[in-house]
Amino acid sequence: MSIGNVSAVLVHGAWADGSSWSEVIERLKAHGIHAVAAPLPLSGLHEDVAALDRTLERIDGPVVVAGHAYAGAVIGSTRADNVKALVYIAALAPAEGETVSDVFYRGEAHALAPKLSPDRHGLIWLPEEAFAAAFAQHASAQELTVLSAVQRPISVSSIGEPVGRPLWKDRPSWFLTAGQDRMINPDTQHFMAQRMNARVHSHQVDHTPIVTAPDVVTDVIVEAVQAVSAR
């Protein structure tokens, strides 16, 4: 099986959309890997998993699914047969019975992490200043402008729903831990990566390396794709 037979599905997290993967998509294409960004409504974990499954249904052949941040819970909750490996990018990986909130708040918050609370619609928005302070402190001014402009809020119900048996118990997984993450405690990332027995790549990147360190992210996804294609 050649690397070209394995597709990559890229899943955005909270306060982002599929465009956050644009730099990675271009690099994967240069490696001969077809990539699709799965759009999530961020309206509830169950609904987000259903949205991912709809994207996976459209793809023939084996798939490596990569999730950033909140999307780690989403990719771990799919049961799609064509998913052959999982890649966590500074992501949250709840175990069975845990919620996104459980793991997100497990470690001590960074001093510059934003204080989050829902609006009257039950949606959590990221304060504009938090993009430069904590979400992507290594981003350029232009990148920050776009990130802030396209942000999508996440529903409270998305982070409060317990997950079932996570797929990482049954599929190989990779984990890029972000040493300069100000949103998800790096120690929490290492804890999750170790308990899921993931292949760990640790880098001194911020919370959103899919934007600020796309080469590093691409390398991890390519490694997972090559492992799947070699089977």
- Segment 127-150, tens digit of pLDDT: 999 999 999 999 999 999 999 999
Average pLDDT over residues 26-54: 97
What residue numbers bound the domain in which 214 lies? 3-229
> What average pLDDT score do residues 14-43 get?
97
DSSP letters, 37-71, are: EEP---S-HHHHHHHHHHHHHT--S-EEEEEETTH
Assess contact for 205 and 213: CB atoms under 8 A.
yes
Question: For the segment 159-197, what is each residue's pLDDT rounded down to a tens digit?
Answer: 999 999 999 999 999 999 999 999 999 999 999 999 999
User: In this predicted model, which residue has the larger pLDDT, 47 or 108?
Assistant: 47
- Tell which residue, 138, 118, 136, has the closest CA to residue 128: 136
What pLDDT sits at residue 1?
Answer: 38
- Residue 107: the pLDDT is 84
Q: What is the mean pLDDT of residues 59-67?
A: 96
The predicted-structure confidence for 65-103, as pLDDT tens digits, reads as follows: 999 999 999 999 999 999 999 999 999 999 999 999 999
- Please tell me the predicted confidence (pLDDT) of residue 120: 96
Specify the number of domains making up the chain. Answer: 1
Look up the CATH number of the domain holding residue 109.
3.40.50.1820
Q: How far apart are CA 106 and CA 98, in angstroms?
A: 11
Whether this prediction's pTM lies above 0.85 is answered by: yes
Is pLDDT above 80 for 229? yes
Average pLDDT over residues 44-63: 97
| Dist CA 43 CA 70 (whole Å) | 12
pLDDT at 225: 97
Share of the chain above pLDDT 70, in %: 98
- Model pLDDT, residue 177: 98
Cβ–Cβ < 8 Å for 17, 43: no
On the question of pLDDT at 2 being above 70, the answer is no
Q: What is the pLDDT of residue 231?
A: 81
Long-range pairs for 37-43 at CB < 8 Å and ≥24 separation? 37/9, 37/10, 37/11, 37/12, 38/9, 38/10, 38/11, 38/12, 39/12, 40/11, 40/12, 40/71, 40/74, 42/14, 42/70, 42/152, 42/153, 42/154, 42/155, 42/158, 43/155, 43/157, 43/158
Average pLDDT, rounded, for the chain: 96
Residue-level length of the chain:
231
